[in-house]
Amino acid sequence: MVENPSLRAPTGSEIADWVRDRIRAGRFVPGQRLVEVDIIRQTGASRSKVREALQRLEGEGLVQIEEFRGASVKNASLEEVRQIYRARVALEGICAGDFARQATPEQKERLCAVQDALDRCVEDRAPERFGRLNVEWHRLIVEGSGNSVIADLLQRLNVPIHRLLFESFYDDERLRTANADHQNMVKLLLAGDADASEQAMRRHIEDGFVTLSKIESEFYR
């Protein structure tokens, strides 16, 4: 494998991870066909392992498989992105509330650290770094809610929109308003105000989708 030139042949789930990461990174774009032989060449895995990995990814909803036409990266329409954001509103909202109720001091500490780093990104106008830390910020809140089932669901939901999550922050105004949301929410979360935290998170994610759909409509114009 290019990334893993060890002698040991990669396992099935490693192939799935490899493909999943590439989809996340935008190396495989929606609609692109995933030809088995290509994956074999690049990973060194056997064909049956590649096939099983693709089946698993279809189970995860990342890929679609058609008879005799193989696997291709599933294309998320704007409507599907809207539905994903609606699910995020519900799930991350409740996680914010649960974080406020029950996060440990260590978890709160880590959130503050990431928030400080985000603030520096705004000063330095570093949108890429902001995007990465933003993902981490949201992940920490879910982790602090103590619900790994929801964490898994969100992990999956985020893959098709992973690149979109970064697009928004190249607009400086959006970056600033998003970070203002973050700062406000951190206050509420640390104060343990569950209801206000949940409401703030829901609005924050809804705003994110509005920004995104503006970018998308420009793109298609």
- Which residues sit at the interface with DNA, rule CB under 7 A? 9, 11-12, 33-37, 45-49, 51, 65, 67-71
The CA distance from 165 to 161, in Å, is 6
Closer residue to DNA in complex, CB, 47/214: 47
DSSP codes, 37-80:
HHHHHHH---HHHHHHHHHHHHHHTSEEEETTTEEEEPP--HHH
Closer residue to DNA in complex, CB, 63/175: 63
Binding test (CB under 8 A) with a second copy, winner from 1, 117, 126, 153: 153
Choose among 133, 112, 139: nearest CA to 175. 133
Interface pattern 1-20 for a second copy (x via CB under 8 A): ----------xx---x----
Burial class (CB in 10 A: 0-12, 13-18, 19+), 48: exposed
Q: Is 127 in the site for a second copy (CB under 8 A)?
A: no
Burial class (CB in 10 A: 0-12, 13-18, 19+), 60: middle
Chosen from DNA, a second copy, none, partner binding at 150 (C-beta under 5 to 8 Å by type): a second copy
Binding test (CB under 8 A) with a second copy, winner from 93, 127, 131, 144: 93
Q: Is 147 in the site for a second copy (CB under 8 A)?
A: yes
DSSP codes, 119-165:
HHHHHHT-HHHHHHHHHHHHHHHHHHTT-HHHHHHHHHHHGGGTTHH
Minimum CB separation of residue 200 from a second copy in Å reads: 15
Which 13-72 positions form the footprint of a second copy (CB under 8 A)?
Answer: 16, 48, 51-53, 55-61, 67
The CA distance from 26 to 45, in Å, is 22
Chain residues in the site for a second copy (CB under 8 A): 11-12, 16, 48, 51-53, 55-61, 67, 80, 83-84, 86-87, 89-91, 93-94, 98, 147-150, 152-153, 157
